[in-house]
Structure formats: C-alpha cells, structure tokens
Amino acid sequence: MSTTTSANGADEIIRLENVYKIFGPQPRGRALKLAKDGLTKNEVQAATDHVVGMTDVSFEVKRGETFVLMGLSGSGKSTAIRTVNKLHDITDGKVLVDGTDVQRLEGQDLQKFRQKMGMVFQHFALFPHRSVIDNTGYGLKVQGVDKDQRDKASLEALNLVGLGAFANSSPSELSGGMQQRVGLARALASDPDVLLMDEAFSALDPLIRRQMQDEMMAIQAELQKTILFITHDLNEALRIGDRVCIMKDGAIVQVGTPDEILTKPATGYVAEFVQDVDQGRVIDVSTVMTQPVKVDRSMSAKDLLTAIGDDGGFVVDSDGRPTELVMAKDVYSAATNGDGLGAAFSAEFDTTTADAKFNHVYAHAGKGKILAVTDGDGKLVGVLKPKDMIEEMGRVESLIDGFEREVFM
Amino acid sequence: MSHSIRSIAYIAAQADETAEEVAETPGFFDNAWLDGFQFHFGEWIKQIVDWTDQNLQLPIEIIKWPFDFLFELLMSTDPGRTAIMDIPWFWVAIFFFIIGSAVRNVKVGLASAVMVATCGLLGPDYWSETTKTFGMVFISVLLCALIGVPLGILCGRKDAVWNVVRPVLDAMQVVHPFVYMLPFIFFWKIGEVSATMATMVFALPPMVRLTNLGVRQVPDDVVEASRSYGASERRVLTDVQIPLARPAIMTGLNQTLLLAISMLGIAALMGAGGLGKLLLRAINSQNLPLAASGGLAFFLVAVVLDRISQRESDDGLGLFGRIREAWTYRADPEGLLAAKAERSAESAAAAAVEAAAAEAANVGGDERPAPVSARERMGLLLAALGGIAAMVSVFLPWGSDSGLVSAWGRRSDETGLVGQSFTGFEATGGSVFAIIVLLLGLLAAAAAIRPLVTIGDGLPRLFARIQGVMFALLGAGAVLVWVLNILNVNFRPLLDIGLIIFAIAAVAIMADIWTQGTRRLGADGALIAGAGAFGSALGYLLLRPSSFVESYSHGVGAYLAVAATAAVVIGGLIAVLAAPYQTRRPFKLSISWPLVAGAVLGLTIIGIGSISAWLIDQRLDSLITPEIQAEIERLEEEAGDDINKQLANGQAITNLINSARAGTSPTFNSLAPEGPGLGIPAIALAVLAALGVLVASGLLGGDERRRWIGATLAAGFGLAALVIPAAWILSFTRSAEPQAITGAGSIITLTGAFALFAAGRSVVGEFVRRKVYSDSPGRSVADDVDIALDGGGSMADADLVGSGTP
C-alpha cells in the first residue's frame, strides 16, 4: 500500500476522459447539454426526465494499482466500471484502455478486448448449471483453450483461493463466501491484465468480507494486477485501495490516496464519510509521529529540560536504537526529591514501528509516556506524544465543523 | 358466405322501407334509420381471400408442406406403409413406459404404460383414434415448439420484437377459435392440416410467452458475466440464457401440450381425426357407450402426455388442477411460474425438513434397519414360501372339463372340453385370476425376503447400468424400426429382439427397485400383496360355473393357490405383529374421520356394485333381432363421416335400440344364484378391509402400532376385494365374445374396493421400519458436534481461510 505509486510516473492503463452517461430515450439531447452545463443529477432529472449516470467523470488507473471507486447507490460507480469493458455505452467522452478507444470496439474486436479482463460481481453471477471448475474455466473456454489446459489453469486458480477440493461441486452447494472465491478464481484463471471488481465483497458477512479482503490483498501482492474496485464501504475502500475515488450523483468528488481522503476531505460529503471511519486503521504511525529528542545521561537537569521541554527524550546507543526513556516530570521529581538525576532515566518504555497502523498504539495514549518509533532496523526515527495522539483522534470531528452540514440521503 | 351477407343487406333495406311505412314518426330508440348505414367488411375479406387463393398458391403450399410431411410420416393412410395407427397398443405402451421412465421416473413410466394399455383394451376402434390423437398432439406440439422457442428467445432478447409479438399473442388467445377456423379451412381445406393450424394458434402463445419470460428472468449479472469474459452473443445465448431458461421453456411445452389437448374437439369440427371425431360422432348420434369410452381414452391420453411432460413438483396437483392452472394463467406466465416456483419451493422445503430429520437422527453414527427378530423371521419365511408356492400353483391345472371364467363369455368353452385340464396361464384355465396370483405372489415373496438379506453397493449399480444400456438399445431400435418402416422394409425378428431387450430392462428395473429397497418391501408389503393374491385365488375358487356348463371340476392348482396365499397372509400377519415399525412423524389427528368416512363410503359403493350388473349377456337377448342389428349397421354405414347424416341416422338408431329394449335385459348381478357370484367373496373381503380401516382411523383406540396393523390389513383385504372385479373385467377382455360384456357393477365394486385399499395404504405409508444406530469407528464425537453446529457456510469458510491464503 505504498502511497508513492500514484506520485511516480507509472504508466496508466485505464483512462476516462470527461465521460457522460445519460439514461433515457434521448440521451444525447437536452439532458446531455444540461449536464455539460454543470447542472446536477437531480436538476437534470427534474428538467428532462433523463437519469444522469455519470457526469464529467475523468480518472486514470495506473498499471499494477488498486484503484477504488467509492460511492453510495446511484452514484454512478457501477456504471463507470461497466464502461471500461463496454458493458455500457457512454453518451459522451472517451474511455481508453491501454491506448484503445473502447467505444469504437465492435464484434470480435470487442470480444477479444474483453478477454483481457476479468470481472467479479456483487452477487457472484456464477453459472448455476456448471460445476465450479467449469465456472472457473469459462473465460478460457470462451478463448478456445482446450479442456485439459483449461482445467489445469482453473485448478491452479481455485487452489489460489483455497477451493481446489470443491472443483467438481455445483455452485449452489457452496456458501456465499466460497461462491465469491469461485468468482475471484474465475476472474484470475484467464490471467487477465485488469480485474474489474463490482462490489465484489458487499454481499458477504462482515467477517467473511474481511477475510476476502485480506486474501485479495495477498493475491494482489503476488500477482500485481491492475484492479478497479467498486464499493460503497469507505472502510473497505481505504483498506485495500492504493487510490480512492469518491463519487456522488454521477460526479467525482475527490480522488486521492487513503491518507489524503482522511486528512484532507475535499467536501463536507467526504468528511461526513470519513467521520465514520476508524482512522487509526488507515493512518500510519509515521504521519502522527514527531522528531525524536535524543539525550544522554551526561546532560544536566537544566539541559535535559531545555531539550525535552514538557515531554520526554530517549537515550540511544551507537546504532541509534533507543535504550532509555527520560520524561520531563521525572526530571522534576528527581530534582525536588534530591535523588540523583539517574532515577529519572528508565529502561521501561514502549516501542512501535513507523509503518504500524495508528490504531495499534491507541492504548498507549493514556499511559502518559512518549512512545519510541523505530524503523525496520530498530533505529529510533520518531516519537509519539500522548497529546498528539489524542489530538489526532479528535481531528476528524473538528474537520467536519469546517464544512456546512448537509443532509445526505 | 357472400350470398348470405347480401341477403341480410337486402332484408335490412326492406326493413328500412317497412319501418317508414308503419311508423311515420320514428322514436328515439328506433333502429330502422340506423339500419340504412352499413359497410361490407365481410365482402372485403372475401375478396382478399379469393385473390390470395388464386394468386398466392405457392406460399400456401409452402406453409402446408411441413404439416403434410409430418402427417405423411406419422399418420400416412397409404396402405403400404405402417403408420402409428397400425402399431399394436402393446408396443405403444412399452414405448410410453420407456419415454416416461427416461424423462421422468419409473413410476410415471409404469403409470403411462398402464393407461395406454387401457386405451388399447377399449378396442381397435378406440385405439386407432387414440393413436391419431397422440399423433396430432405430437405434430402440433412439435411445430409449436419449433416456432415458439426460437420466437420466444428472440422476444426475450429484443424488446422491439416482443413489443410486436405480444399484442399478436394476446389476440391469438382472446379470439375464439371459431373466428379463425374458416380462413384456415378456406386456404387449406377441411382436414388435419387446417385443424392443426387452428390448434397451433391456440396452443402457441404460452410457448412463446414462457420462453420469452425464461430468457428475461435470467439474472442480468450472469449474462453480463458471460459477456464480460468476451463471449459472443451466440455464446451468451447457448451458454447462459437457454440453459437457465430451460425450466420455463419446459413449462411452456407442458402448457402448450395441455392447450393442444383441449383443442382436440374443435379440431375435430375442422375435420381432424382422432378421439375428438369419435366424441363428435357420439354427440351427434347420442351414443352413450361411444361417448364414455371415447371420453375415457381422451382423459387417459391427456393424463399420460401431461404426466410425462410436467415438473416433478407438480405431481401432487392432479390433471384437473393442472388444466385449471393452465387456463387461469394462459395469458399470465409470470403468475404461472410464480405459482410453480412456490410449489417447487414447498416440496423442496418438505424434502429438506425430512433430510434434516434424517441427518439429525443419523448424527450418532451409521444407521441401519432394526434387526429381524426370530418371530418376524419365521413369519417372513412362511410368507416367502407361500408366495413361491402360489407362483408354482399357476403352472398346475386350475380346472378341467370346461372353462370356469371363460365359459361365462365364450360359448366354445362351455362344453366339449371333457377330459382336458387347463393351467393357470390359459384363458380357459385360471385366466387373469391366476396371473394376478402369480404377480402378487412374486411381489409378496420379494417383499418378504428383502428384510432377510443385506445387499452391497455393487448390485444396484449393475442393475442401473443394465437399465441404461437396455433403454439406449430400445431407443436406437425404435428409430431403426421407424426408418425401416419408412423404407418399407419389414424385418420381423427385430420386434422379437426388442421384446427380449425390454424384458431384460424390466427385470433390471424391478431388481434395481428391489435391491435399493422401498419402504413397503417388508412384512407389511408381503401381507398386502399376499392378501391380494389370496383374494384372487379365493375369487376363482368361489366363482360359480356358468349355467350352460355341463361339467367342471377345480384343479389342484386352484386349491394350492388358495392354501399358499393364505399361508402368505398368515406368515405376513405373524411378521407384522413382530416387526419393529414406527411412524415417520407424529399423527396429527387422534381419530381420522376422513378414514371412517372412506370406510363407510367404500362399503356402500361395493354394496351398490354387488347388486349391479356384472355380466350383460346379449347373446341371450332375443329382443335385438339380427334384422334390427343389420338395420343399425346399415344406418351406421350409410352415415359414414358425414356429420349431418350422422345426426339424422344416429337418431334413427337410438329409436331402434330403444324400441328393441322394451323388454327385460339378460343381466346378472354378482349375488344372483344363476350369476357368477363373485360379489360374495368381494363383500366378505371388503368388510374385513373396512374393519381394518376403522382400526387404522384410531376409532377403536389410539395406539399407533395397532393402527398400523389395522391399516396393513385394510390395504391387503382392500386389494383382495379389488382384484376380484379387476380379474373378472380383464378376463373378459381376453376371452369374451362381443355380445357378452362385463357390467357396470364390476367397475363400481372395483372403485369401492380401491377406496378401502387407498384408505389403508395412506396410513401404512406413514410407517417405516425403525432404524438402529451405531457409532462408526472413524468418526469422533467432535466431528458430530461440528456437523450439528455447521448450519450455514460460515464455519466452512473460516476453516478454509488458513489453507486458502497462499
């Protein structure tokens, strides 16, 4: 989940340019014009009785990236994903996949083009009259791969999702989570460049959903596909997405990395969503930590207090690893009690890593001690102050106050 | 047509003038003035039709071609070629058995074969019309499917097509067939072709509607899934849409079939042959026996075709319920599918409950039937030996010097056979009575032996494979025979080979059923079958010889049969008293009043049947003289197929018969001293059966076991009372001269006995042999707990995660 993917110039594979999609008897008529003039979905609908699926949607997905389209029902996200493989035609704009103008594809070219993609559906959309392995091999069958080879690839894909033993079962014999694994295996079996996942985990129980997300991320780490993922669950979006695009009423509200969405919501709508997210699960410790103050035992009480202020500092060894913690209040009490300054130093402190999620360190906020943040080698790279941690937890509430409250349906 | 319309116009004009003369000041509600306005729609159409008829002969011929081709292929009247009318009913019955078994199950196949055989037993006149009916229905349904399925698929995929087709279908269903009869007749003349077309107009819409609906209700995302993997539109159709629409298409086929059957009467009006024509003739000549027999054949044809083509879950609905359903929903396939889906879900839920109960009972380990106790074993062995002895008895002499059963219907068996003896197989000997003893004896022996043996998995698999091979051979053989027939090659041995293959298949089916074991293969089944055989043997023994018979004496076979079947009953009863049976589910009612009512009703019907005619011997009827008979035949001959003539001559025939019947008719009921006297054993057995039903109903105490024993006895003696009139009727089908016919009393008695049998059987069906459970070594308690807890898939999922993540 590196946040740098979007920053560097990785080549893009999917690109939507100013795409409009209008549903109704005359999509290219007045409705399109009004939408282009910037009227909202509801206004266009009131004026022309046409439903705006997408209005001025532009985004690009980079190769190997997990790009999440997030929005509530009616926000146009499902329409958007279907324009990528031309299950839906668009009304205006341009959809480019690997340099191909998707809208121009017809007949066999379109079929060939679609064969390079795998799609996973919300309600699994397995073929109920075929066995699990035949379902999995469907994409290859369409491509004309012979049965032995097809079954081999299917079995591989099924093993990848842990369902090798169920190859000859009927889909109806499987539970929902298992059926969606088959759906995923079906998408993976033909080794496509792009995975389109339309609310793939939304129909699953919360527990199963989490497992599926974990599994998908593990598979993704191995295979490095380009994934266009649709969800209405921001938690899910932030959890699995390299970049997240939030849509509302057919228009894009914000595109950014999970951190950007959380820390800089573009509108009140996004902020409202963000409020419900347990931020700690998304935010890295590194974004909250501050520069560490390094001290040593030879310093005087006054020097110590000057260096650490109201907080605390660490003694590090020659490799930069923290060995002892000294807190300002301990320095004061050591000074007033007349004990040696050495009593203020303590080898008992908590450590975390820079790439850990923020929610793992919540419990330490109440202890009144600063936390050592180390890198992979155990070197001290930062500290977490209790004050900053609590501030971070309360930050979102204050964010929303900055926007005018709206009522969202 | 034009003439009549012109004359109506003329009369209207006249009326106009007259009105002006009479009523000088027309009132507000005077039509005379309006009558002056008219346009000549009929004339226009006539001109169009005339023009079409003269100038578009080629398209008319082309449309006619497939109909002609099929009729020529299946129902050719060419004497050189065998059409379906010429196939013996026995073969058609076998054909339906195979089709029914292959498409549905053995039970449906067997029932279809019996019903077809019943049509065949009605006589050659009815049989040839029955086959014509099968042929017509087949042709119209085939053509409906050939047009309706592709059209429905097209409608399902293209809204534009559906928007055009839908109003046409509405019109086809709303307009009465009388409206479009005439144009068809005009273009294609009176006869089968135009009749089939009219039938198709009526029967086609559900096929199109349901196919369309089936394609449309395929979930969008499944279609999208197919498309998104790059499937061509044709692939989407064959991979996804048609397979998933199949249940709806099959329902459409069934609906089309039912509607085609219901159109047969109108088709007959248009000149089609078949049972419809028979009934039409019966109505025109007020010929009640013709109407009744034809109606029965009609009914059986409908039941057979419907049963074979219906869904599994519809089995409980019955034919009338299904025809009503087809009518109710004929323009509303959504409603029909919903109703069917609901019923299907209900039966699935019931099956699931039963399976869950079995699973719950099975948690402790492997289940097997409760072991056979020494007493039960003794009873079963006695019953089995008795059954085998009863089968042997059929091969021994049953009577000598004259025919006992057959002499009632056949003059040649009355005298002149002194010194000869006849085995159970011969018509002059045991006749159908002995054959029933043979079959039920075999069944009793099979039921008695089944609990005493254990059978592995290999045998059922072997039998199933034999069945499959034989069915395939028979199917291929049928095609081969038909091809040879079209080529006018008659290869006689093929039929014999077919019969042997069929016999092997039948044995394999029976062996398959026996090895798998059904609920009734046990003490109660042995008792019921044995009692039935006992009834048949007793009936034969107590049957009075015809008064024209000079000397007759029973053979050893008849006595052995009674003794052996009595042994089966006793052995079966011993086994039943000792057998560990229990209810499948708790009884709902403490006393089942419907069963009590059934017992009373059954007895009453049997009483009526016993004092009704069992035999009408028209050979003794001097009132219809040969002259009158000749006159009747002449009138029938003269009328031929001309409907108007039939009407006139039919009335004359009725008058003749009525005048001739002024005197008494020589009929015998079953109690009359000079009659066959079969009512006495039938009533005695029926009383026993009724007592059994009363016990089974819980009226004499609520103990479940006692009710089961009562029900077993009721079913057994009910079957015994049933086989007596059944054997009587069937014996006459085999060995009677045309003027000696069985009376209504025998069929009434049979009905009453069937009520008793069915009442008993319904309670017997609630009981099963108790199961005992034992822990198998490979299974721990923890496993069982897991199974018990694992309701949904979540646990299975949780288990998989560890191994599933790479």
Reported as a single tens digit per residue, the pLDDT across A362-375 is: 777 777 788 888 88
Chain-chain contact of A215 with B805 (C-beta, under 8 angstroms): yes
| Cα(A60)–Cα(A14) distance, integer angstroms | 5
Which candidate from B244, B797, B803 shows the least CB-CB separation from A175? B797
Please list the residues that pair with B771 across neighbouring strands. B369
Cβ contacts of A196 on chain B, cutoff 8 Å: 228
How many CB atoms sit inside 10 A of residue B785's CB? 11
Indicate yes or no: CB of A123 within 8 angstroms of CB of B221. yes
Fold of B372-580: Butyryl-CoA Dehydrogenase, subunit A; domain 3 (1.20.140)
Q: Which of B226, B228, B794 sits opposite A205 (nearest CB)?
A: B794
- Long-range contact set of residues B459-463: C-beta below 8 Å, sequence gap at least 24: B459/B511, B459/B515, B460/B512, B460/B515, B460/B516, B463/B508, B463/B509, B463/B511, B463/B512, B463/B515
Residue A162: which of B224, B239, B804 has the nearest Cβ? B804
- Give yes or no for a contact between B700 and B694, defined as CB atoms under 8 angstroms apart: yes
B243 neighbourhood in chain A, CB within 8 Å: 127, 129
pTM, full prediction: 0.69
Cα–Cα dist B338/B343, whole Å? 9
How distant is the Cα of A87 from the closest Cα of chain B, in angstroms? 7
Q: In this complex, do A138 and B229 lie within 8 Å of one another by their Cβ atoms?
A: yes
φ and ψ at residue B403, rounded to 5 degrees: -85, 140
Length of chain B: 806
Partner-chain contact A143 B230, CB within 8 Å: yes
Q: In angstroms, what separates the C-alpha of A250 from chain B's closest C-alpha?
A: 21
> For chain B, how far is it from start to end, CA to CA, in angstroms?
84
Rounded CA separation B741/B615 (Å): 6
Question: What confidence score (pLDDT) does residue B361 get?
Answer: 53
Cβ contact B221–A125 (<8 Å): yes
Instruction: Assess whether pLDDT exceeds 70 at residue A3.
Output: no
Yes or no: say if A128 and B240 are a contact pair by the CB < 8 Å rule.
no
**Nearest Cα residue in chain B from A189:** B229
Asked if A111 lies within 8 A of B230 by C-beta distance, the reply is yes
Phi/psi for A247 (5° steps) reads -115, 150
Contacts of B804 in chain A (CB under 8 A): 161-163, 181, 215
Residue among A112, A175, A211 minimizing CB distance to B792: A175
B232–A138 CB contact, under 8 Å: no
Is the Cβ–Cβ distance between B708 and B767 less than 8 Å? yes
Contacts for A223 with CB less than 8 Å, ≥ 6 apart: A188
Query: Are B222 and A162 inside 8 Å of each other by CB?
Result: no
Q: Which of B386, B431, B439, B381 is nearest to B406 (CA)?
A: B431
Minimum Cα–Cα distance from A111: chain B residue: B230
pLDDT for A355 beyond 70? yes
The answer to whether residue B663 neighbours chain A at the CB level (below 8 Å) is no
Q: Which of chain A's residues have a Cβ under 8 Å away from the Cβ of B232?
A: 108, 111
pLDDT tens digits, one per residue of A152-210: 999 988 988 888 888 888 888 888 888 888 998 998 888 888 999 988 888 888 888 88
Note the pLDDT of residue A397.
61
A178/B796 touch (CB, cutoff 8 Å), yes or no: yes
CATH architecture of A286-393: Roll (3.10)
Within 8 A of A205 by CB-CB distance, chain B residues are 794
State whether residue B250 sits within 8 Å of chain A by CB.
no
Q: Is A72 exposed, middle or buried (0-12, 13-18, 19+ CB in 10 A)?
A: middle
Residues of B within 8 A of A223 (CB-CB) are none
Nearest partner of B241 among A345, A129, A33, A183, judged by Cα? A129
Please give the residue of chain A at the shortest CA–CA distance from B240. A127
State pLDDT tens for residues A122-136: 888 899 888 899 999
CA dist A361 and A97 (Å) reads 42
For B229, the closest of A114, A162, A219 (CB atoms) is A114
Residue in chain B nearest A163 by alpha carbon = B804
Q: Which of B227, B794, B797, B805 is the best residue to mutate to test the A interface, defined by the most A CB atoms within 10 Å of its own CB? A: B797
Pairwise CA distance, residues A120 & A230, whole Å: 10
Round to whole Å and give the CA distance between B59 and B752.
58
Sequence-distant (≥ 6) Cβ neighbours of residue B418 within 8 angstroms: B401, B402, B551
Residues sharing a CB contact under 8 Å with residue B184, sequence separation 6 or more, in sequence order: B194, B197, B198, B270
Average pLDDT, integer, range A301-327 = 84
Distance CA B477, CA B421 (A): 40
What's chain A's Rg over C-alpha atoms? 27
Q: Measured between CB atoms, which of B225, B228, B796 is closest to A175?
A: B796
Determine the pLDDT at residue B12: 54
Residue B791, chain A, CB below 8 Å: the answer is no
Query: Which residue type occupies B378?
Result: M
Residue of B nearest to A122 (CA): B221
Answer whether B717's CB lies under 8 Å from B566's CB. no
Closest CA to B758 of B703, B719, B729: B719
Distance (Å, whole) CA B271 – CA B277: 8
Q: Which residues on chain A are in Cβ contact (under 8 Å) with B226?
A: 127, 138
Task: With beta carbons less than 8 A apart as the criterion, state whether A69 and A230 touch.
Answer: yes
pLDDT of residue B765: 83
| CB atoms inside a 10 Å sphere around CB B38 | 12
Compute the nearest-CA separation of A174 from chain B (Å): 7
Report yes or no for ipTM above 0.85.
no
The answer to whether the CB atoms of A111 and B797 lie below 8 A apart is no
Check pLDDT > 80 for residue A8: no
Which residues in chain B are closer than 8 Å to A210, comparing Cβ atoms?
A: none
| Rounded Cα gap, residues B482 and B488, in angstroms | 9
**Contact predicate B281/B290, CB 8 Å:** yes
Of B227, B232, B797, the CB nearest to A177: B797
Q: How far apart are CA B103 and CA B112, in angstroms?
A: 12
- The number of angstroms, rounded, from the C-alpha of B460 to the middle of its chain's C-alpha atoms is 28
Substitution target in B226, B237, B246, B800 with the highest count of A β-carbons within 10 Å is B800
Q: When comparing pLDDT for B587 and A35, which is higher?
A: A35
Mind telling me how many Å the CA of B350 is from chain A's nearest CA?
Answer: 18
pLDDT, residue A408, reads 46
CA torsion through residues B550, B553, B557, B562, sign = positive
Choosing among 3.40.50.10310, 2.60.40.680, 1.10.3720.10, 3.40.366.10, the CATH entry for B60-339 is 1.10.3720.10
A233 Cβ contact list (under 8 Å, min separation 6) = A70, A202
Across the A:B interface, residue pairs with CB atoms under 8 Å apart total 101
Pairing assessment for the beta strands A312-316 and A117-120 based on DSSP bridges: unpaired
Distance from CA of B243 to the nearest CA of A (A): 7
Tokens at residue B506, please?
A: 């039948």
- Which tokens is A362 given? 């919540």
Decide if B291 contacts B283 (C-beta within 8 A). yes
Mutate which of B224, B228, B790, B805 to test chain A, going by most A C-beta atoms within 10 A? B228
Distance from the Cα of B792 to chain A's closest Cα (Å) equals: 7
The residue length of chain A stands at 409
Q: What percent of chain A has pLDDT above 70?
A: 93
Query: Residue A190: its chain B contacts at CB < 8 A?
Result: 229
Report residue B383 as tokens.
Answer: 């019953």
Select the residue of A119, A143, A163 nearest B225 (Cβ to Cβ). A119
Q: Provide the token pair at B466.
A: 């034999």
Q: What is the pLDDT of residue B360?
A: 55
In chain A, domain spans: 286-393
Q: Which of B201, B205, B208 is nearest to B155 (CA)?
A: B208
DSSP secondary structure letter of residue B237: I
Please, what is the angle between helix B192-216 and helix B333-362, to 10°? 60
Which residues of chain B are under the pLDDT cut of 50? 1-2, 362-364, 662, 776-806
pLDDT recorded at residue A229? 92
How far does A160 lie from chain B, in Å, by closest CA? 6
State CA A52 to chain mean position distance.
Answer: 27
